[in-house]
Structure 1
Amino acid sequence: MSRLDPSIEPNGSGLRRIEVITGTGGRRRWSEDEKALAVEESLAPDAVVSQVARRHGATPQQLFTWRREARRRAEAEGAPAFVPAIAENGAAVRTPASLAPKSEVAAPVVEIEIGEAHVWVWRDADIGMATAILRALRTQPGPK
């Protein structure tokens, strides 16, 4: 009988090692919340993707895939991209429309002044974003 033969030897002289697989096996599944948490951690300014992935029991490749999927979902949903704005006291810099080429500037439908802040709203503006901006301006303290 060959040593490569998987059958049990009749004389019982050889011991064989077997592997017992328990559990359901297969791949690890992460919930959407777990993925979102890992993606959020990996986007922190000083985060190291491989360390974040290791903490969550994933590989860096998986984490990069989750980040790419999250970015695509956000783009598909049309999520507004907000940039942090800092209100400072002082004169606002206004760029006159006359300085810009006419083909690039469409006349705003309405100009709103709240204190010293000026907001121009165009015809194709997202109403939700415009509302959020106006509410934020209304809650800001006036100049001192």
Structure 2
Amino acid sequence: MNEKVKLPKIIFDWLDNEIKQATMRLNVAQPFTTIAAILNEMNKKTFDSDLFWWINLPANQWLLIDALRYGYEAEPEPEHEPRWAIKAGNCYLTNPVIYRFNDITPETAIEYAAYWATKSYADDIVKTLGFGEVVDLNNEGKADE
């Protein structure tokens, strides 16, 4: 038996509301038709960009389908919201427009707001660059302590 899918809190809240509305309004119950109906409705509305980009990633659409099949629950809230940064060696990306890296501490990267709230954005830049790794600045250097 499959376990419930863990979804980010924002997606969990949104999906709960959309499922109720879609099943009442559109009388759909199958995963693919429900997701299609929700995406169709989404195109008619203005959504928060994190929500919009999360929903439009194909892998996340499969997660939504599995959530409808097996049930879903909210991911546990982290102690701190992740701050996804791109690290190459001892340097962090500080300017994503011109791909500038600087030798700074994770704390300084946080001060400069050189991070993303959504990991997939940072992953896309790493793919574009062809090097680097995505790290959570909140956890950088903590494993050594």
Scaled by the length of structure 2, the TM-score of the pair is 0.25
Scaled by the length of structure 1, the TM-score of the pair is 0.25
Higher-RCO chain (CA-CA 8 Å, sequence separation at least 6) = 2
Larger proportion of strand: 2
